[in-house]
Protein backbone atom coordinates (compact mmCIF):
# COMPACT_ATOMS: atom_id res chain seq x y z
CA UNK A 1 0.00 0.00 0.00
CA UNK A 2 1.16 3.53 -0.69
CA UNK A 3 -0.09 7.06 -0.41
CA UNK A 4 -3.74 7.52 0.47
CA UNK A 5 -4.26 3.77 0.92
CA UNK A 6 -1.65 3.80 3.69
CA UNK A 7 -3.32 6.70 5.47
CA UNK A 8 -6.72 5.05 5.21
CA UNK A 9 -5.28 1.96 6.88
CA UNK A 10 -3.60 4.12 9.53
CA UNK A 11 -6.95 5.75 10.27
CA UNK A 12 -8.70 2.40 10.54
CA UNK A 13 -5.97 1.06 12.81
CA UNK A 14 -6.07 4.18 14.97
CA UNK A 15 -9.82 3.91 15.47
CA UNK A 16 -9.56 0.19 16.20
CA UNK A 17 -6.95 0.89 18.89
CA UNK A 18 -8.04 4.18 20.46
CA UNK A 19 -11.82 3.69 20.27
CA UNK A 20 -11.98 0.54 22.45
CA UNK A 21 -9.42 1.90 24.90
CA UNK A 22 -11.34 5.12 25.45
CA UNK A 23 -14.51 3.10 25.91
CA UNK A 24 -12.76 0.91 28.51
CA UNK A 25 -11.34 3.99 30.26
CA UNK A 26 -14.70 5.68 30.54
CA UNK A 27 -16.37 2.44 31.62
CA UNK A 28 -14.02 2.43 34.60
CA UNK A 29 -15.29 5.84 35.67
CA UNK A 30 -18.87 4.85 34.93
CA UNK A 31 -19.08 1.59 36.87
CA UNK A 32 -17.37 2.90 40.00
CA UNK A 33 -19.58 5.99 39.94
CA UNK A 34 -22.67 3.82 39.51
CA UNK A 35 -21.55 1.66 42.45
CA UNK A 36 -21.51 4.83 44.58
CA UNK A 37 -24.95 5.90 43.36
CA UNK A 38 -23.86 8.69 40.99
CA UNK A 39 -26.04 9.31 37.95
CA UNK A 40 -24.26 9.44 34.61
CA UNK A 41 -26.00 11.88 32.29
CA UNK A 42 -23.92 11.23 29.14
CA UNK A 43 -21.52 8.51 28.02
CA UNK A 44 -19.92 9.65 24.79
CA UNK A 45 -17.42 8.04 22.45
CA UNK A 46 -16.06 10.91 20.40
CA UNK A 47 -16.72 14.62 20.35
CA UNK A 48 -18.87 16.91 18.30
CA UNK A 49 -22.24 16.15 16.76
CA UNK A 50 -23.94 12.91 17.75
CA UNK A 51 -24.15 10.25 15.05
CA UNK A 52 -26.39 7.89 16.99
CA UNK A 53 -27.20 6.63 20.45
CA UNK A 54 -29.83 5.65 22.97
CA UNK A 55 -30.97 6.54 26.49
CA UNK A 56 -31.07 3.71 29.03
CA UNK A 57 -33.53 3.25 31.86
CA UNK A 58 -31.21 5.05 34.28
CA UNK A 59 -31.37 8.17 32.13
CA UNK A 60 -27.85 7.89 30.72
CA UNK A 61 -27.45 8.97 27.09
CA UNK A 62 -25.04 6.62 25.32
CA UNK A 63 -23.85 8.19 22.09
CA UNK A 64 -21.30 8.00 19.30
CA UNK A 65 -20.08 11.30 17.90
CA UNK A 66 -18.57 12.15 14.53
CA UNK A 67 -15.03 12.79 15.86
CA UNK A 68 -14.12 9.47 17.56
CA UNK A 69 -10.68 10.44 18.91
CA UNK A 70 -11.71 10.81 22.53
CA UNK A 71 -14.66 10.39 24.81
CA UNK A 72 -16.08 11.27 28.17
CA UNK A 73 -18.67 10.39 30.78
CA UNK A 74 -20.50 13.33 32.34
CA UNK A 75 -21.94 12.85 35.79
CA UNK A 76 -24.79 14.77 37.31
CA UNK A 77 -23.39 17.58 39.44
CA UNK A 78 -19.95 17.68 37.82
CA UNK A 79 -20.69 20.95 36.07
CA UNK A 80 -17.42 22.88 36.08
CA UNK A 81 -13.72 22.07 35.59
CA UNK A 82 -13.14 22.61 39.31
CA UNK A 83 -16.22 20.55 40.29
CA UNK A 84 -17.53 23.67 42.00
CA UNK A 85 -21.17 23.53 43.13
CA UNK A 86 -23.36 25.71 40.95
CA UNK A 87 -26.62 27.49 41.70
CA UNK A 88 -28.42 24.84 39.65
CA UNK A 89 -26.88 22.10 41.80
CA UNK A 90 -27.78 23.85 45.03
CA UNK A 91 -31.37 24.21 43.88
CA UNK A 92 -31.82 20.48 43.18
CA UNK A 93 -34.16 18.46 45.45
CA UNK A 94 -32.17 16.63 48.16
CA UNK A 95 -32.83 13.14 46.73
CA UNK A 96 -31.69 14.21 43.28
CA UNK A 97 -28.69 16.09 44.61
CA UNK A 98 -27.61 12.96 46.50
CA UNK A 99 -27.11 11.21 43.12
CA UNK A 100 -24.70 13.84 41.83
CA UNK A 101 -20.93 13.55 41.67
CA UNK A 102 -20.41 16.67 43.76
CA UNK A 103 -22.49 15.32 46.64
CA UNK A 104 -20.26 12.32 47.19
CA UNK A 105 -17.53 12.27 49.86
CA UNK A 106 -13.98 13.01 48.80
CA UNK A 107 -12.78 9.41 48.87
CA UNK A 108 -15.56 8.32 46.53
CA UNK A 109 -14.86 11.12 44.05
CA UNK A 110 -11.17 10.17 44.21
CA UNK A 111 -11.91 6.52 43.40
CA UNK A 112 -14.30 7.44 40.58
CA UNK A 113 -11.60 9.52 38.88
CA UNK A 114 -8.86 6.96 39.61
CA UNK A 115 -10.96 4.17 38.11
CA UNK A 116 -10.47 5.33 34.50
CA UNK A 117 -6.69 5.03 34.21
CA UNK A 118 -6.59 2.01 36.51
CA UNK A 119 -9.09 0.22 34.28
CA UNK A 120 -6.79 0.80 31.31
CA UNK A 121 -3.90 -0.69 33.26
CA UNK A 122 -6.05 -3.59 34.51
CA UNK A 123 -7.15 -4.29 30.94
CA UNK A 124 -3.51 -4.49 29.85
CA UNK A 125 -2.75 -6.88 32.72
CA UNK A 126 -5.66 -9.05 31.56
CA UNK A 127 -4.33 -9.11 27.98
CA UNK A 128 -0.78 -9.87 29.08
CA UNK A 129 -2.10 -12.60 31.39
CA UNK A 130 -3.67 -14.21 28.34
CA UNK A 131 -0.33 -14.14 26.53
CA UNK A 132 1.49 -15.55 29.56
CA UNK A 133 -1.08 -18.33 29.85
CA UNK A 134 -0.87 -19.14 26.14
CA UNK A 135 2.86 -18.81 25.51
CA UNK A 136 4.54 -18.87 28.91
CA UNK A 137 7.13 -16.34 30.10
CA UNK A 138 10.76 -15.71 29.05
CA UNK A 139 13.13 -18.00 30.87
CA UNK A 140 16.33 -17.50 28.88
CA UNK A 141 19.27 -17.73 31.33
CA UNK A 142 21.15 -14.39 31.58
CA UNK A 143 24.31 -16.01 30.25
CA UNK A 144 26.26 -14.29 27.49
CA UNK A 145 26.55 -16.57 24.46
CA UNK A 146 27.58 -13.91 21.93
CA UNK A 147 29.69 -10.77 22.21
CA UNK A 148 29.43 -8.56 19.14
CA UNK A 149 32.82 -7.52 17.76
CA UNK A 150 33.51 -3.84 18.34
CA UNK A 151 30.65 -3.53 20.83
CA UNK A 152 30.60 -1.76 24.18
CA UNK A 153 30.58 -5.13 25.94
CA UNK A 154 33.68 -6.33 24.09
CA UNK A 155 35.50 -3.07 24.82
CA UNK A 156 34.65 -3.38 28.52
CA UNK A 157 35.83 -7.01 28.73
CA UNK A 158 32.60 -9.04 28.85
CA UNK A 159 33.23 -12.63 27.71
CA UNK A 160 31.16 -15.52 26.41
CA UNK A 161 29.86 -17.53 29.37
CA UNK A 162 29.54 -14.58 31.77
CA UNK A 163 26.29 -14.66 33.77
CA UNK A 164 24.80 -11.16 34.15
CA UNK A 165 23.63 -10.53 37.73
CA UNK A 166 22.52 -6.89 37.62
CA UNK A 167 22.57 -3.77 35.46
CA UNK A 168 22.65 -0.30 37.06
CA UNK A 169 21.68 -1.80 40.42
CA UNK A 170 18.66 -3.73 39.13
CA UNK A 171 18.82 -7.51 39.43
CA UNK A 172 18.67 -9.58 36.26
CA UNK A 173 16.82 -12.90 36.43
CA UNK A 174 16.45 -13.75 32.74
CA UNK A 175 18.26 -12.46 29.67
CA UNK A 176 15.15 -10.55 28.59
CA UNK A 177 15.55 -8.32 31.68
CA UNK A 178 18.71 -6.76 30.27
CA UNK A 179 17.45 -4.81 27.25
CA UNK A 180 14.91 -2.61 29.15
CA UNK A 181 17.70 -1.58 31.53
CA UNK A 182 19.96 -0.51 28.68
CA UNK A 183 17.95 0.86 25.75
CA UNK A 184 17.22 4.24 27.36
CA UNK A 185 20.86 4.85 28.33
CA UNK A 186 23.02 5.32 25.24
CA UNK A 187 26.36 6.90 26.13
CA UNK A 188 25.63 6.59 29.87
CA UNK A 189 28.03 4.51 32.01
CA UNK A 190 26.21 1.59 33.65
CA UNK A 191 27.56 -0.65 36.40
CA UNK A 192 27.16 -4.28 35.29
CA UNK A 193 27.66 -7.04 37.85
CA UNK A 194 28.29 -10.54 36.52
CA UNK A 195 29.64 -13.92 37.46
CA UNK A 196 32.60 -15.50 35.72
CA UNK A 197 33.82 -18.93 36.72
CA UNK A 198 31.76 -18.76 39.88
CA UNK A 199 33.35 -15.46 40.96
CA UNK A 200 31.32 -12.22 41.13
CA UNK A 201 32.81 -9.33 39.20
CA UNK A 202 31.70 -5.93 37.98
CA UNK A 203 32.46 -3.56 35.11
CA UNK A 204 31.30 -0.14 34.04
CA UNK A 205 29.97 -0.35 30.49
CA UNK A 206 28.77 2.56 28.36
CA UNK A 207 26.07 1.38 25.92
CA UNK A 208 26.69 2.61 22.42
CA UNK A 209 23.88 4.44 20.62
CA UNK A 210 22.41 2.60 17.68
CA UNK A 211 19.50 3.28 15.37
CA UNK A 212 17.37 0.32 14.39
CA UNK A 213 14.81 0.27 11.61
CA UNK A 214 11.77 -1.99 11.48
CA UNK A 215 10.11 -3.43 8.38
CA UNK A 216 7.97 -0.29 8.04
CA UNK A 217 10.96 2.05 8.01
CA UNK A 218 10.40 3.37 11.56
CA UNK A 219 13.69 4.21 13.23
CA UNK A 220 14.41 3.82 16.95
CA UNK A 221 17.46 5.16 18.77
CA UNK A 222 18.60 3.09 21.73
CA UNK A 223 21.58 2.00 23.74
CA UNK A 224 23.17 -1.41 23.09
CA UNK A 225 25.71 -3.49 25.02
CA UNK A 226 26.30 -5.84 22.11
CA UNK A 227 25.65 -9.16 23.84
CA UNK A 228 23.24 -11.96 23.05
CA UNK A 229 21.92 -15.23 24.50
CA UNK A 230 21.80 -18.57 22.72
CA UNK A 231 20.28 -18.92 19.28
CA UNK A 232 16.66 -19.18 20.48
CA UNK A 233 15.00 -17.45 23.44
CA UNK A 234 13.51 -19.85 25.95
CA UNK A 235 9.91 -19.67 27.16
CA UNK A 236 8.46 -21.79 29.95
CA UNK A 237 4.89 -22.41 31.14
CA UNK A 238 3.83 -20.38 34.16
CA UNK A 239 1.77 -21.91 37.00
CA UNK A 240 -1.79 -20.65 36.90
CA UNK A 241 -1.47 -18.84 40.23
CA UNK A 242 1.60 -16.99 38.92
CA UNK A 243 0.07 -15.85 35.62
CA UNK A 244 -1.42 -12.57 36.88
CA UNK A 245 1.61 -11.62 39.04
CA UNK A 246 3.84 -12.25 36.01
CA UNK A 247 1.61 -10.02 33.85
CA UNK A 248 1.62 -7.34 36.55
CA UNK A 249 5.41 -7.45 36.57
CA UNK A 250 5.52 -7.02 32.78
CA UNK A 251 3.09 -4.11 33.03
CA UNK A 252 5.16 -2.46 35.74
CA UNK A 253 8.31 -2.71 33.62
CA UNK A 254 6.53 -0.92 30.79
CA UNK A 255 5.35 1.82 33.19
CA UNK A 256 8.84 2.30 34.64
CA UNK A 257 10.26 2.60 31.13
CA UNK A 258 7.65 5.26 30.37
CA UNK A 259 8.48 7.11 33.58
CA UNK A 260 12.17 6.98 32.81
CA UNK A 261 11.61 8.16 29.25
CA UNK A 262 9.53 11.13 30.42
CA UNK A 263 12.15 11.97 33.03
CA UNK A 264 14.91 11.93 30.43
CA UNK A 265 12.95 14.25 28.15
CA UNK A 266 12.27 16.66 31.02
CA UNK A 267 15.93 16.67 32.06
CA UNK A 268 17.20 17.06 28.51
CA UNK A 269 18.83 13.63 28.24
CA UNK A 270 16.56 12.76 25.33
CA UNK A 271 15.45 15.01 22.52
CA UNK A 272 11.97 16.49 22.41
CA UNK A 273 11.93 15.30 18.80
CA UNK A 274 11.35 11.77 20.12
CA UNK A 275 7.89 12.72 21.38
CA UNK A 276 5.15 11.28 19.22
CA UNK A 277 1.57 12.42 18.84
CA UNK A 278 -1.72 11.18 17.42
CA UNK A 279 -0.45 10.99 13.83
CA UNK A 280 2.44 8.73 14.78
CA UNK A 281 0.15 6.62 16.98
CA UNK A 282 -2.18 6.30 13.99
CA UNK A 283 0.74 5.18 11.82
CA UNK A 284 1.90 2.59 14.34
CA UNK A 285 -1.69 1.45 14.89
CA UNK A 286 -2.20 0.81 11.21
CA UNK A 287 1.13 -0.98 10.90
CA UNK A 288 0.55 -3.26 13.87
CA UNK A 289 -3.04 -3.96 12.90
CA UNK A 290 -1.88 -5.02 9.45
CA UNK A 291 0.37 -7.67 11.06
CA UNK A 292 -2.58 -9.68 12.35
CA UNK A 293 -4.52 -10.14 15.59
CA UNK A 294 -1.55 -10.96 17.86
CA UNK A 295 0.35 -7.80 16.90
CA UNK A 296 -2.84 -5.76 17.15
CA UNK A 297 -3.74 -7.07 20.62
CA UNK A 298 -0.16 -6.60 21.86
CA UNK A 299 -0.13 -3.01 20.62
CA UNK A 300 -3.54 -2.31 22.19
CA UNK A 301 -2.19 -3.55 25.55
CA UNK A 302 0.88 -1.32 25.23
CA UNK A 303 -1.18 1.76 24.37
CA UNK A 304 -3.63 0.95 27.17
CA UNK A 305 -0.78 0.96 29.70
CA UNK A 306 0.50 4.27 28.38
CA UNK A 307 -2.99 5.77 28.29
CA UNK A 308 -3.47 4.86 31.94
CA UNK A 309 0.01 6.13 32.84
CA UNK A 310 -0.42 9.46 31.04
CA UNK A 311 -3.81 10.06 32.63
CA UNK A 312 -2.28 9.59 36.07
CA UNK A 313 0.22 12.40 35.53
CA UNK A 314 -0.62 15.36 37.84
CA UNK A 315 -1.58 17.67 34.99
CA UNK A 316 -4.79 19.71 35.23
CA UNK A 317 -7.54 18.47 32.88
CA UNK A 318 -6.15 14.93 33.08
CA UNK A 319 -7.41 12.51 35.71
CA UNK A 320 -4.13 12.92 37.56
CA UNK A 321 -4.78 16.65 37.91
CA UNK A 322 -8.15 15.99 39.54
CA UNK A 323 -6.56 13.42 41.85
CA UNK A 324 -3.90 15.95 42.86
CA UNK A 325 -6.56 18.48 43.80
CA UNK A 326 -8.45 15.84 45.79
CA UNK A 327 -5.27 14.96 47.69
CA UNK A 328 -4.69 18.65 48.45
CA UNK A 329 -8.31 18.89 49.59
CA UNK A 330 -7.81 15.89 51.86
CA UNK A 331 -4.71 17.44 53.43
CA UNK A 332 -6.24 20.93 53.82
CA UNK A 333 -9.64 19.57 54.89
CA UNK A 334 -11.20 21.90 52.36
CA UNK A 335 -11.05 22.37 48.58
CA UNK A 336 -8.70 24.79 46.93
CA UNK A 337 -10.27 28.09 46.06
CA UNK A 338 -12.33 27.84 42.85
CA UNK A 339 -10.29 30.67 41.31
CA UNK A 340 -7.05 28.76 41.90
CA UNK A 341 -8.48 25.56 40.42
CA UNK A 342 -9.88 27.44 37.45
CA UNK A 343 -6.50 29.06 36.83
CA UNK A 344 -4.77 25.68 37.07
CA UNK A 345 -7.18 24.09 34.60
CA UNK A 346 -6.80 26.94 32.13
CA UNK A 347 -3.02 26.65 32.40
CA UNK A 348 -3.25 22.89 31.96
CA UNK A 349 -5.44 23.32 28.88
CA UNK A 350 -2.97 25.76 27.35
CA UNK A 351 -0.06 23.41 28.09
CA UNK A 352 -1.85 20.39 26.62
CA UNK A 353 -2.83 22.29 23.49
CA UNK A 354 0.75 23.52 23.07
CA UNK A 355 2.04 19.97 23.55
CA UNK A 356 -0.48 18.65 21.03
CA UNK A 357 0.65 21.19 18.44
CA UNK A 358 4.30 20.40 19.13
CA UNK A 359 3.96 16.60 18.86
CA UNK A 360 1.84 16.96 15.72
CA UNK A 361 4.59 19.07 14.13
CA UNK A 362 7.06 16.41 15.29
CA UNK A 363 4.95 13.74 13.62
CA UNK A 364 4.78 15.68 10.37
CA UNK A 365 8.55 16.19 10.47
CA UNK A 366 9.10 12.46 10.99
CA UNK A 367 6.97 11.81 7.91
CA UNK A 368 9.27 14.10 5.91
CA UNK A 369 6.60 16.73 5.21
CA UNK A 370 8.84 19.74 5.81
CA UNK A 371 11.63 18.44 3.60
CA UNK A 372 9.11 17.72 0.86
CA UNK A 373 7.64 21.21 1.15
CA UNK A 374 11.15 22.64 1.11
CA UNK A 375 11.85 20.75 -2.09
CA UNK A 376 8.67 22.08 -3.69
CA UNK A 377 9.45 25.64 -2.67
CA UNK A 378 13.07 25.34 -3.75
**Any idea which residues carry the catalytic annotation?**
26
- Decide if 284 contacts 14 (C-beta within 8 A): no
> Following DSSP, what letter does each residue of 25-76 receive, concatenated?
HHHHHHHHHHHTTPPEEEEEEEEEEEEEEEE-TTS-EEEEEEEEEEEEEEET
All residues at 6 or more sequence positions from 79 whose CB lies less than 8 Å from its CB, including other chains: 86, 88, 89, 102
- Decide if 156 contacts 204 (C-beta within 8 A): yes
- Using a 10 angstrom Cβ sphere, with 0-12 exposed, 13-18 middle and 19 or more buried, the burial of residue 205 is buried
CA angle (82 as vertex; 81, 88 as ends), nearest 5: 85
- Decide if 116 contacts 26 (C-beta within 8 A): yes
CA–CA gap between residue 317 and residue 323 (Å, rounded): 10
All residues at 6 or more sequence positions from 360 whose CB lies less than 8 Å from its CB, including other chains: 277, 278, 279
Amino acid sequence: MTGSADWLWYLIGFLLVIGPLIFIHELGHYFVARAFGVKAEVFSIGFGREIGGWTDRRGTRWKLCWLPIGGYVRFAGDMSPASEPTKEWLSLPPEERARTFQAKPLWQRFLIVLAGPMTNIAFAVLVLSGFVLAYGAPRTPPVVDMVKPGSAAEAAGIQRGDRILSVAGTEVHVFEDIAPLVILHPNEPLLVRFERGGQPQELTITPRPTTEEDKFGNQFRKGMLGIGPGERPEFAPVPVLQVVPTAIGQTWRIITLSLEGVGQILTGKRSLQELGGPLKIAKFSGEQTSQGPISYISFVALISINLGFINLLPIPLLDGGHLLFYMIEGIRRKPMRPEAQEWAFRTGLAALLALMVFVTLNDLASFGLWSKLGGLIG
